[in-house]
Amino acid sequence: MISQQRKRKGLFMILPAIVLFLVMTIYPFIYMIYNSFTNLDLSKKGTGQFIGLKNYFEIFQDRLAISSIEFTILLVLIAVPLEMIFGLGLSYLLRDLFGEKVLRSLFLIPMMVPAAVGGFGWKMLFNFIFGPINYFLGLLGFQPIEWFGKLNSARMAVMIVEIWQWTPFVFLILYAALQALPKDILDAGKVDGASGWKLFMYIELPLLRPIIYVTLLLRIIDVLRAFDTVYMTTYGGPGSATSTWSFYAYKVTVSYGWNIGYGSALCVILVIVSAILINTLTRILNIGKELGLSKE
C-alpha cells in the first residue's frame, strides 16, 4: 500500500503538469465555447456581445460550410478505407520479401515528409502545363487534366495526396501487428492445413481485427481535422470544393476574416461531431471488448 505521504508527494510532483494542461488546453477550450455564443469579430469595433445560438444557426445556412462538410465526409468515406486497404495489403505482401527492410523504409518516406514539402511537391506534379502527371497521361493518349481547376479532379487530387501520405501510417501499425502475432497459433493453423491466403483470412486477419479498428479510428480522427494537405495544394479551391471543415474554420477566423465568434462555433461543432462519431464507431465495432478493456 502506498502511504498518504507518498501520495501527496506524488501529487505535488505532477501538479505543475496539471496546471500547465489546464492553462494550455482546458481554458482555451472553454474560452472558445464562450466565444461561439458571441459576435466577436476582431475586424470590427463594438463586438463581443452575447448572441446565443445565432452562430450555430448560421452554419446550416452557410453554403461554404455545407460544402466543407461534404468534402470532409468524402475523405472519411473514400480516402480512409483506401488507406486501410492499401496499408493492410502492403503489410501482408511485404513479409518475407527480398529486400524487406529496404522496402519497409521506402514505404515510410511519405509519412516522414513534412506536409508543407509533400503538398508543394504534389502541387508541382499536378500542374496543368508542366506537371509530370499530365505529361505521362499525354504519352498514354489522354488529354491533360486541370487537376486543381475543376471540382471532381481537385477533390480526387487532394484524396490522392492524403492517401499517399497516410497509407504508410496504416502500413506501419499493421505490419508491426503482423510481426507480433503469436507463432504458436500460426503454427497450429499450418499443421491443420492452412497456408498462404487461407492462413491470412481465417487466422491472421481475425487476430488483427482489434488493431485494424483502432487504426481506423485514429485515421478518422485525423481526417476530420485535415488541414495541411488542403492548405498546401488547393487552398480550398476551386471555390470551396476541397475545403475541409478545419480549413474553413481557419479561413473564417484567420485567413479572410477575423470572425472569432463564428469560427469558434465551427470548431465546437467539429468537436461535437467528432466525439459522437468516434463514440458511435467504438460501440458499433465493440473496440473495448476487442482490446480486452471491457468485461461485457
pLDDT tens-digit readout, 36-69: 999 999 888 888 899 999 999 999 899 999 999 9
pTM for this one? 0.87
Decide if 214 is inside a domain.
yes
**C-alpha dihedral sign at 53, 58, 60, 64:** negative
Q: Buried b vs exposed e over 230-243: b needs ≥16 C-beta within 10 Å?
A: bbbbbebebebbbb
Decide if 258 is inside a domain.
yes
CATH of the domain at 270: 1.10.3720.10
Decide if 89 is inside a domain.
yes
Decide if 8 is inside a domain.
no
Q: Buried b vs exposed e over 41-64: b needs ≥16 C-beta within 10 Å?
A: beeeeebeeeeeeebeeeeeebee
Print the domain residue range for 232: 63-113+157-290
**What is the model's pLDDT at position 197?**
79
Q: How many domains does the chain have?
A: 1
**What is the model's pLDDT at position 290?**
57
Beta bridge partners of 50: 38
Mean pLDDT value of segment 158-173:
94
Decide if 210 is inside a domain.
yes
Decide if 51 is inside a domain.
no
Decide if 16 is inside a domain.
no
d(CA 16, CA 222): 29
Cβ neighbours for 228, distance < 8 A, ≥ 6 positions apart: 115, 116, 119
How confident is the model over 242-254, as pLDDT tens digits?
A: 999 999 999 999 8
Decide if 132 is inside a domain.
no
**What is the model's pLDDT at position 191?**
76
